[in-house]
Chain A
Amino acid sequence: MGVILDVSDLHIEFHDHEKPETVVHDFDLMLEEGEIVGLVGESGSGKSMSAMAIAGLLSRHEISKEGKILYNGTNLLTCSREELRSYQGKDIAMIFQEPMTSLNPSKRIGWQVEESVRIHRSDIDAKTRKEMAVTQLSRAGLPDPEKVYMQYPHELSGGMRQRVMIAAAMILNPRILIADEPTTALDVMVQAQIIDLLREINREYHTSIIFISHDLSLVNQLCHRVLVMHHGRVVEAGRTREIFRNPQKEYTMKLIGSIPKVRLDDVPPDRQEMAGDILSVRGLTVSYQSGGGLFRKKQENLVLKGIDLTLHRGEILALVGESGCGKSTLAKAVTGMNSRYSGSIELSGDRPQMVFQDPYSALNPSHTIGWLLEEPLRIRGGMTDADRNARVLEMMDMVRLDRELIHRYPGQLSGGQRQRVCIAAALMLKPEILLADEPVSALDVTIQVEILALLKRLRAEMGLSILFISHDLRTVYQLCDTVAIMKGGVIIEKGPVNRIYREPEQAYTRQLLKAAGIAVPGAAV
């Protein structure tokens, strides 16, 4: 095995503001042939920037000239643009985090998969090119590759699009594949399949892979070697097994410590005593009409098919399922945002308040935190300015937000702080139920831990009941008392977390647990 890529002294600086901002310092990486190296870190750690620099996707004046990216004896930072382009897509290929937007929406899949061949191999004729593309699509695990070849991106699911991206990247059999968070935007089950596919590519074609992720357990599963990045620097590097078993640096320990752990053999965490129902859903059915028009009959699509669900006082109940299973539709019906349903929803008390997945877009950027938190009270009315202000401060203390932030705007806050603002806003009217729709999945792991702790504390201090929507079974295990597994608009299994995780009855639940890397005792895997 030889070294295929040698990166040394990579410095990346952005010049957007008056003062240049260094986002990557002294980045070194020796990539061997056939090796999978993981780049791990939280958002802003510089991992994606380093990868983009290697792929030649950053403008050159942002990269310091002292550094070197040596491929095939050529320094990619100083060679001519033509030479750099001759490697891009042929020797070094890349796939990205967002399969939904990484493909050109107005071009056929086939055209996009073949693109690298058209650019780099003008000796190959159109017919052979098509054969190559169809072969790659089929290798990437797409059923009916001939059909996919003629389709457009919007006709495919997220998982299928990521497979298309992989097929396009692999078509000229590159020696290096850079995968930037390739599974982050996908459902757990699909995540596991994409990871398997990358492993297979590595084994079969000896492709070296640089795998960028914030998900340490994925890196642990896939990578031979790991580079841990923090604030633009590599803080620790080594064999994956050693790093995970025996981390040297404090930051690495903190990262590893924040992986939600599921140890089914441990004594189960304290579960609250349940007293009385606070929300009771019976036979909830929601359908929406599609198609239809002047000349066509409308079609009825059932999204929820007779859901029964009970939330007890002080309980944290998880709703788990893949996208499209009806989780969000259920949330909309319960919060009263959709009143077109049949069946009954009985609440004792007010409507539940919601916390959303993306704290970046959930807050109006043109108002201060104080204004945003006051808003529910203002709408309800009947309070003096001073009373409202007191309540805002009280709630900010409750969710551990610095009182100083009251005059700031959302754009000046970190993701974790914004999610605290969202939670505080939801609690302003003192609801008894909080409905949290994937509240931590857009956040960094270390922040996730803090927000989960906050939700637990709020439950203890305010007697809150929480409906927690998630696709991450590991997070659910950390937080929830009860879990309901949804598939195709039906709850297929529900019960206490301890029982469902130990003795799942449904095959689908077992698959979900397996995809999340949770070994079910006694189950043949």
Chain B
Amino acid sequence: MKYIVKKLIMMAFTILVISFVVFLAFRFIPGDPALMILGGQSSPEKIEALRQEMGLNDPVMAQYLRWLGGLLRGDFGVSYRYSMPVLSLIGEKIPITLFLTLEAFLLMVVISIPLGIYTAKYSGGLIDRVLVVINQIIMAVPPFFSGILITWLFGMTFRWFRPGGYISYKVSFASFLGYLFYPALAIALPKAAMAVKLLRSSVLTEAKLDYVRTAYSRGNATNDVLYRHVLKNAIIPVVTFLGMTLADMVAGSLIVEQVFGIPGLSKTLLTSISNRDYPVVEAIIVLIAVIVVTSNVAVDLIYRALDPRIRAEE
């Protein structure tokens, strides 16, 4: 319990530091937001007046604290470009990207754990050898390309889904998840291939350890040794990998959204970057940071639950 509290404090601290660095970075990037809003033809007086109004002449620290205070109240600031609150600009898009990422993550787990165990159990067999080769190929394919392949294969050749036929979660949540399946698969496949390889080698390494021999000496059948003894130890390194992958998958989602025409955060982020619409970009970066840090804490907690030696180190 104490450990969890400690972790949560560390997590809050990390997010605070990230938010500060992000805020500071955008203050130092050349370009005057007031100028950008009003355009090049405006008079210097007008620009100065707007700077004053936006608080851009205050000390950086005061600006940061004002921004941070807003964040904590759920106020992400106002878009320079659209002059509307950032939250109403991205609020409806957050769940789309979030669900795409989560669905991809779940697909990866569902694909990789059984396949990892299977290939380890029958290592050296025909299916294992074929899968190792397929794995090797899939691992090398970036998500946007696997996205294109999947669109071509399942969308245009087999017609299992209609490319571009995105259905909003407000219309039908089930159809929404259904449409996300193929983009999620595009994100999940390369990562799943890595996870299969990792789990396979982890199981094979564990299977050589002395305690496995002890388990056999008590009359355990092969499957019991695998599921009751080996798996829990073998999955520990894989958990670390899965946690790191979740962060990668957010980035993967942003790219794949473009390929499949999903109106998530991706488009907003790209236009905001080219428009120098900093409040929007800052909000999205902080959001991604929160997801990454939270998933890391989750990994630590799962790790701790699996491995008693980690618990002992406190």
Residue of A nearest to B220 (CB): A119
Given A154-B309, A295-B6, A104:B211 Cβ within 8 A? yes
Contact B209 A101 (CB under 8 A): yes
CB of A505 within 8 A of chain B? no
A494–B266 CA distance with the chains assembled, in angstroms: 76
CB of A87 within 8 A of chain B? yes
Contact A119 B218 (CB under 8 A): yes
A171–B276 CA distance with the chains assembled, in angstroms: 72
Q: Which residues of B (218-256) have their CB < 8 Å from a CB of A?
A: 218-221, 224, 229, 232-233, 236
CB of B210 within 8 A of chain A? yes
| B87 surroundings in chain A (CB, below 8 A) | none
Contact A85 B308 (CB under 8 A): no
Q: Which residues of A (47-87) have their CB < 8 Å from a CB of B?
A: 55-57, 81, 85-87
* A-B contacts at CB below 8 angstroms, number: 76
Given A107-B229, A154-B308, A88:B217 Cβ within 8 A? yes
Query: In the assembled complex, how far is the CB of residue B195 from the closest CB belonging to chain A, in whole angstroms?
Result: 20
Given A102-B210, A155-B312, A57:B233 Cβ within 8 A? no
CB of B175 within 8 A of chain A? no
Contact B308 A106 (CB under 8 A): yes
Query: In the assembled complex, how far is the CB of residue A197 from the closest CB belonging to chain B, in whole angstroms?
Result: 18
Contact B307 A98 (CB under 8 A): no
A101–B233 CA distance with the chains assembled, in angstroms: 13
Contact B219 A85 (CB under 8 A): yes
Contact A116 B219 (CB under 8 A): yes
A290–B213 CA distance with the chains assembled, in angstroms: 35
CB of B89 within 8 A of chain A? no
CB of B78 within 8 A of chain A? no
Contact B211 A103 (CB under 8 A): yes
Contact A89 B219 (CB under 8 A): yes
Contact A93 B217 (CB under 8 A): yes
CB of B173 within 8 A of chain A? no
CB of B215 within 8 A of chain A? yes
Query: In the assembled complex, how far is the CB of residue B118 from the closest CB belonging to chain A, in whole angstroms?
Result: 21
Given A152-B308, A154-B312, A104:B233 Cβ within 8 A? yes
| A295 surroundings in chain B (CB, below 8 A) | 6
Determine which of A86, A88, A104 lies in contact with B216 in the assembled complex, contact meaning CB atoms within 8 Å.
A88
Contact A106 B233 (CB under 8 A): yes
A515–B219 CA distance with the chains assembled, in angstroms: 35
Query: In the assembled complex, how far is the CB of residue B6 from the closest CB belonging to chain A, in whole angstroms?
Result: 7
Query: In the assembled complex, how far is the CB of residue A164 from the closest CB belonging to chain B, in whole angstroms?
Result: 11
| A90 surroundings in chain B (CB, below 8 A) | 219
* Chain A positions 313 through 327: 1 when the CB is less than 8 Å from some CB of chain B, otherwise 0: 000000000000000
CB of A120 within 8 A of chain B? yes
CB of A28 within 8 A of chain B? no
| B98 surroundings in chain A (CB, below 8 A) | none
A356–B111 CA distance with the chains assembled, in angstroms: 47
Contact B215 A104 (CB under 8 A): yes
CB of A96 within 8 A of chain B? yes
| B6 surroundings in chain A (CB, below 8 A) | 295
| B306 surroundings in chain A (CB, below 8 A) | 106
A101–B306 CA distance with the chains assembled, in angstroms: 18
Contact A96 B308 (CB under 8 A): no
CB of A94 within 8 A of chain B? yes
| A119 surroundings in chain B (CB, below 8 A) | 218-220, 224
Residue of A nearest to B311 (CB): A152
Residue of A nearest to B224 (CB): A119
Determine which of B217, B220, B233 lies in contact with A55 in the assembled complex, contact meaning CB atoms within 8 Å.
B217
CB of B214 within 8 A of chain A? yes
Q: Which residues of A (135-158) have their CB < 8 Å from a CB of B?
A: 152, 154-155
Known: A57-B217, A154-B309. 12 other contacts (CB 8 A): A57-B213, A85-B221, A88-B218, A88-B219, A90-B219, A94-B217, A102-B210, A104-B211, A106-B308, A115-B220, A116-B218, A119-B220
Q: Which 10 A-B pairs have the closest CB atoms?
A: A89-B218, A88-B219, A89-B219, A101-B210, A152-B308, A94-B217, A104-B211, A85-B219, A116-B218, A102-B210
The contact sample of 10 A-B pairs, CB cut-off 8 A, is A88-B216, A90-B219, A96-B214, A98-B210, A105-B309, A106-B232, A106-B233, A106-B308, A116-B219, A154-B308
